[in-house]
Amino acid sequence: MSYKGPVYIWKCTVCGDKHYAKNPPGSCRKCHSEANRYILLPNNGQGSGEELQNYFGIPSLNSLLYLIGSTRKDIPNAMCCSSVTQITYGPPQVAVAINKNTLTHDNIKETGVFSLVPLGHSQTKMAHHFGRNSGRQIDKFLDYQQKPAKTGSPIIEGCDSYYDCLVDHSATIELASHTLFVAKIIEAAVKTSEPPLTYLDYIKNMSNF
């Protein structure tokens, strides 16, 4: 295998179990400790053998990074997302792939709406905050202000643009680990004051957070 890319290795600080994925598991499969007992091990940014086989992200595609905002029972949440693409112009539609373990997934399934917020080049810290923590464990909006868009989904302080989205459940596709939500943009505010944040930008700077 010639691919050289970053590998995430999470280690349970209670029993030492290793987990190869972008995020730690919900709980340790061996000692059942909570996800927050896992630490991300430093590595040389290259993968081989078992590590590569277990690594499932494809940052070499270098997607742009977004926050996906959702609100359920009046509690706002947001997560970082790279699996986002525009699919049609008329009507304006996007597709986003959301892991079924996330709170965001449950929120969108139930409410059928979300906000899509592009991250700017200087916002790696936000990508890390919203992408490395789950709203199941912490309130991610203790550190950031937000206000509701038309659908009630959060627009996040410090972000120039947003797209307010309504899910088309009939076009949405169930994948094994993710749901590919297809949604229509019903409102948007688009300003571009800085270049977008990419997955590779994030990988280069994530160790600072």
* Interaction site with ligand FMN (CB under 6 A): 22-23, 65, 77, 79-83, 97-99, 102-104, 127, 131-136, 178, 199, 202
How far apart are CB 103 and ligand FMN at their closest, in Å?
4
How far apart are CB 11 and ligand FMN at their closest, in Å?
18
| Closest of 123, 196, 116, 194 to residue 162, by C-alpha | 116
The residues, ordered by sequence, that sit 6+ positions from 86 with a Cβ below 8 Å of its Cβ are: 92, 93, 94
Please identify, using beta-carbon distances, which residue of 55 and 199 lies nearer to ligand FMN: 199
The C-alpha atoms of residue 120 and residue 168 are separated, in whole angstroms, by 28
- Name the β-bridge partners of 167: 183
How far apart are CB 90 and ligand FMN at their closest, in Å?
25
Q: How far is CA 8 from CA 17, 32, 50, 53, 110, in A?
A: 14, 20, 12, 12, 31
Please identify, using beta-carbon distances, which residue of 134 and 153 lies nearer to ligand FMN: 134
Please identify, using beta-carbon distances, which residue of 81 and 94 lies nearer to ligand FMN: 81
Please identify, using beta-carbon distances, which residue of 49 and 79 lies nearer to ligand FMN: 79
How far apart are CB 193 and ligand FMN at their closest, in Å?
21
How far is Cα of residue 192 from the mean position of the Cα atoms in its chain? 21
Q: Which residue is nearest to ligand FMN (CB)?
A: 131
